[in-house]
Amino acid sequence: MANQEVVFPPDMSATAAMPGSSRRALYACRGSASTSLRSPYRVLPGVDDEYRARPPCATSWVVEAIRASSPARSLAVDEYDAWTRLHPSALGSFEQIAAAAEGKQVVVFMDYDGTLSPIVADPDMAFMTAEMRAAVRDVARHFRAAIVTGRCVEKVCSFVGLPELYYAGSHGMDIKGPTSNQGDTTAAAVLLQPAREFLPVIAEAYQALVEKTKGTPGAKVENNKFCLSVHFRCVDEKRWSSLAEQVKAVLRDYPDLKLTEGRKVLEVRPSIMWDKGKAVEFLLQSLGFDGRSDVLPVYLGDDRTDEDAFKVLGKSGHGLGILVSKFPRETDASYSLQDPTEVMEFLLRLVQWKRRRSSSATRARV
């Protein structure tokens, strides 16, 4: 990753990536949070005036949201069955998916944690298996493929280890193209960093959060460069409220940052209108694929933050969202898979299908 230049593809900039918007609109999302319980992805404003608007349950609401993002209770079989009728297994419905992909260029977007790698207690140990890596490598040989993650690009690149992929790190705020060899150096073109000016404030907030949370056993603050993750997974549930309070207290000094929640994690990020969905739109535009009915984007993800991407594909009318979850959840994804093992199986079937299509096309030509 030697090349740190911000390079916009022709006719594309942070603002051009959002049709009809001005750069100011990037900053317009404070207070735009939907607090609807039906909303699968709620933005939790990180500023005190917003919290004053929703007292006194705001902290318990944050804690509830974190709890709900990682359900652990076992469900009645029929409850799960009812849900899978709405969001059928992408494996069980593979023929249907293959039929939708017929004659189209498939673009595969993959979330990392909980999708390609199993959820583990220590975020620094969330490795993917060698088998999964081989499957993702095969996917990249046959399709345009991207990893879209909350992790910083550098960390996820070191976990995935496949330079041929596109990477959208920090929840899409750091987008890089495949790494190419240039003599004895390698370079990945930085395609977009829409939150660059927030780097100093993020670095400062990171230090403040580390300091504030250091007395909470098990709490961990992860620096994802353009955003931060405050991990609750190893913290005793009895301390979740006070940890959420600590995070909120720090954010009062940073009105340009906001909070969202994920799987036993609070994410701190710049208050700009940018998310994984925007990153997917940007990548499709960069590849010259947006709005094309002969392109089928497929997005696999497990977390609340992936809902933004599911929404974008749902709205476009020709994309497929696949939610990775063992538990029924409100989602904009059309299909489901239970866990990373099923994700791997799905990716392998996709590659197998593509190989069969390519060899029958070759046979037809000779």
Ligand X SMILES: O=P(O)(O)OC[C@H]1O[C@H](O[C@H]2O[C@H](CO)[C@@H](O)[C@H](O)[C@H]2O)[C@H](O)[C@@H](O)[C@@H]1O
Report the residue closest to ligand X, judged by CB.
150
Residue of 11, 48, 78, 111 with catalytic role = 111
Smallest separation (angstroms) from ligand X to the CB of 155: 8
Residue 135, phi then psi, degrees to nearest 5 = -65, -45
Size of the site for ligand X (CB under 6 A): 24
Q: Is 325 in the site for ligand X (CB under 6 A)?
A: no
Q: How far apart are the first and last CA of the chain?
A: 42
Picking from 216, 232, 178, 171, the residue whose alpha carbon sits closest to that of residue 198 is 171
Cβ contacts of residue 155 below 8 Å, gap of 6+?
Answer: 169, 224
Q: List C-alpha distances in Å: 138 to 28, 184, 333, 354.
A: 40, 26, 24, 10
Asked whether the beta carbons of 231 and 219 are under 8 A apart, the reply is yes
Between 262 and 270, CB nearer to ligand X:
262
- Report the residue from 176, 225, 231, 269 that binds ligand X according to the rule CB under 6 A: 231
Q: Is 308 in the site for ligand X (CB under 6 A)?
A: no
Binding mask 112-131 for ligand X (x = CB under 6 A): xxx----xxx-x--x-----
Strands 257-262 and 265-270 turn out to be antiparallel
Binding mask 267-286 for ligand X (x = CB under 6 A): x-------------------
Cβ contacts of residue 96 below 8 Å, gap of 6+?
Answer: none
Binding mask 191-230 for ligand X (x = CB under 6 A): -------------------------------x-x----x-
Q: Is 258 in the site for ligand X (CB under 6 A)?
A: no
Binding mask 51-80 for ligand X (x = CB under 6 A): ------------------------------
Q: Is 265 in the site for ligand X (CB under 6 A)?
A: yes
Q: Is 264 in the site for ligand X (CB under 6 A)?
A: yes
Among this protein's residues, is 122 annotated catalytic?
no
Smallest separation (angstroms) from ligand X to the CB of 227: 7
Between 68 and 121, CB nearer to ligand X:
121
Picking from 229, 290, 291, 293, the residue whose alpha carbon sits closest to that of residue 264 is 229
- Report the residue from 40, 150, 194, 277 that binds ligand X according to the rule CB under 6 A: 150
Between 25 and 120, CB nearer to ligand X:
120
Between 231 and 354, CB nearer to ligand X:
231
Q: Which amino acid is at 136?
A: V
Measured in whole angstroms, the distance separating CA 132 from the mean position of its chain's CA atoms is 18
Residue 327 structure tokens: 């538990």
Q: Which 3-state string (H, E, C) describes 132-196?
A: HHHHHHHHHHHCEEEEECCCCHHHHHHHHCCCCCEEEEHHHCEEEEEEEEECCEEEEEEEECCCH
3-state DSSP assignment of residue 111: coil
Quote the Cα angle for 276-112-338, to 5°.
105
- Report the residue from 111, 138, 256, 332 that binds ligand X according to the rule CB under 6 A: 111
Between 126 and 287, CB nearer to ligand X:
126
Smallest separation (angstroms) from ligand X to the CB of 120: 4
Q: Which 3-state string (H, E, C) describes 289-336?
A: CCCCCCEEEEEEECCHHHHHHHHHHHHHCCCEEEEECCCCCCCCCCEE
Q: Is 303 in the site for ligand X (CB under 6 A)?
A: yes
Residues that bind ligand X (CB under 6 A): 111-114, 119-121, 123, 126, 149-151, 222, 224, 229, 231, 233, 262-265, 267, 303, 305
Catalytic residues: 111
